[in-house]
Structure 1
Amino acid sequence: MAKDAEAFRTIGELSDELGVAQHILRYWETRFPQLQPLKRAGNRRYYRPDDVALVKRIDRLLNEDGFTIKGVQKVLAGKVEEPESSAARADAIPANIALKLKAIRNGLADALGE
């Protein structure tokens, strides 16, 4: 049974959802002051929906868009413009180029398979 979208997430749940280790999430808290999960007794972290959205944004910027920690800090501070999403960039590739790239990929796969 899945949690409601508005429910708080524990660090373990968020880690599993994103495929990011828990120690990485704790490290991001030290680097991004905007990320402030609720802490209860024993320093148990509970991520609100806004925190989850921010963690997903940080993860995308670091792992998909290739930003460094400092680069993401600048994006979150508004000093650097955030790039359009990876999906939007993929849609921006003209169809004929995409077909040529797929043909090259398939040719390489065939060559490596032989």
Structure 2
Amino acid sequence: MAQYSIGQIEKISGVKSHVLRYWEEVIPSITPKKEMSGRRIYSQKDLEIILRLKYLIYTKKFTIEGAKNQIIQDAENIEKNFDAVMAIREIRADLSELYFLLQSLKNERNSNGK
């Protein structure tokens, strides 16, 4: 998985490092790991959240609090969608199993009737 320093995040996102450090304090979703030296190491997920925050704050003109709430809502929607996708996959597997069972019974009847 990709790892980024604060300088790399600043270059990629165009968000100044002091703003990134502030966002870390107020947005619990941004959780860079810190090395023993205190150097921040950001994950791909952190970068995606930072880019989303930048969009919400600078383009959509959200407040920090509004952007934070939107990020939380986005995460909840993703979780709900994931649960729905998993349920659909389970139903699809059950339907496939029933289909093959019915095909098997149909083939058995056809072979016994000949």
Do Structure 1 and Structure 2 share a fold, with TM-score over 0.5?
A: yes
How many residues in Structure 1 have an aligned counterpart in Structure 2? 74
* TM-score, scaled relative to structure 2: 0.61
Q: Which amino acid aligns with 2:22?
A: Y
C-alpha distance in 1 between matches for 2:73 and 2:4: 27
Whether 1:12 and 2:4 are equivalent positions in the alignment is no
RMSD: 1.4
Deviations 1:53-105 (A, max 9, x none): 111111110011110001112112229xxxxxxxxxxxxxxxxxxxxxxxxxx
The one of 59, 69, 75 aligned to 2:70: 75
* TM-score, scaled relative to structure 1: 0.61
Matched-pair identity in % = 32
Deviations 1:4-58 (A, max 9, x none): xx42010001101111110100000001011101111121111111111111111
Off by >3 Å, runs of 4+ in structure 1: none
Q: Which amino acid aligns with 2:11?
A: D
Whether 1:48 and 2:31 are equivalent positions in the alignment is no
1:86-105 residue pairs with structure 2 within 5 A?
A: none
The one of 16, 26, 34 aligned to 1:31: 26
Whether 1:65 and 2:66 are equivalent positions in the alignment is no
Gaps of 5+ in 2: 75-114
Q: Which amino acid aligns with 2:52?
A: R
C-alpha distance in 2 between matches for 1:78 and 1:25: 21
C-alpha distance in 2 between matches for 1:55 and 1:77: 13
C-alpha distance in 1 between matches for 2:70 and 2:10: 23
Structure ID, larger Rg: 2
